[in-house]
Amino acid sequence: MKTTESLLTIAALALSMVLPSTAQAEGGVRHLFNINTVTDELKEIVPGQLFMRFWHGRDISVGVFRMVRNEQGHFPGKINRHGEEVAICTEGRLQMEIEGKTYFFGEGEVMIIPPQMPHTGTCLSDACTLVSWFTPDRTD
């Protein structure tokens, strides 16, 4: 099984444990993206440094975030506080600061961040990509 397939299986299992049984997209099942090509669909937020996109369901959101080092370095992470998050690093290596503790998070690793826990991430490699699921849906 490919790494991507393994990661998606892990994420699906994790989400089945945290989502209410009523969680489904309005209008039924939707195809969101292909994990291997999703970075082509991201919106540039900070020129040349930060790219992201969100997809929303009724009870959950999924976001893809890509941080890239350019001549100015990396965009500094900002403190986030939202619902529970399951994140998969699909590229690169990050340093996460979560409630004053430092964690390192690399390609292929999955992390669960409890709800309303302040956190920030800094990319340690030339590029980092995260796929994150949020419940309840993330509206910020």
User: Which residue reads 């998969």 in tokens?
Assistant: 88
DSSP state, residue 92: S
Lowest mean per-residue pLDDT among 9-23, 74-88, 98-112, 124-138: 9-23
pLDDT digits over 64-80, tens only?
999 998 887 777 777 77
**Cβ pair 65, 85 in contact under 8 A:** no
> Given the DSSP bridges, would you call strands 43-46 and 50-56 parallel, antiparallel or unpaired?
antiparallel
Class assignment of domain 3-135?
mainly beta
pLDDT higher than threshold 80 for residue 55:
yes
User: At residue 109, what is the residue type?
Assistant: E
**Cβ pair 115, 84 in contact under 8 A:** yes
pLDDT digits over 69-122, tens only?
888 777 777 777 788 999 999 999 999 988 889 999 999 999 999 988 888 888
The H-assigned helical ranges of the chain are 3-18
